[in-house]
């Protein structure tokens, strides 16, 4: 989306799910990682897609490895999750 790569969720060394999201931008040949606001739902093994100027994150698992049905949208212009 906009020439950037978005990464969302994951798990730490203790297998606890994360609500982090980051953006990788390439500016003038330099790669720049930037933290985004925290996602409303911590998750690992989720799916993501970009469409209509937004990033969508769906599903995944919770820390208990229970499947999630959560679906969230990140609006880069507003720098916010909904």
Question: Measuring CA to CA, how many Å separate 48 from each of 5, 7, 52, 59?
Answer: 11, 8, 13, 9
Give this prediction's pTM.
0.89
pLDDT in tens, the chain (82 residues): 888 999 999 999 999 999 999 999 988 888 999 999 999 999 999 999 999 999 999 999 999 999 999 999 999 999 999 9
């Amino acid at each position: 989306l906009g020439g950037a790569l978005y990464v969302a969720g994951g798990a730490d060394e203790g297998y606890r799910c994360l609500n982090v999201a980051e953006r990788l931008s390439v500016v003038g040949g330099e790669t720049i990682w930037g933290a985004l606001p925290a996602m409303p739902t911590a998750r690992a093994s989720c799916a993501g897609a970009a469409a209509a100027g937004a990033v969508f994150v769906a599903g995944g698992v919770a820390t208990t490895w229970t499947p999630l049905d959560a679906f969230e949208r990140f609006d880069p212009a507003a720098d916010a999750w909904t």
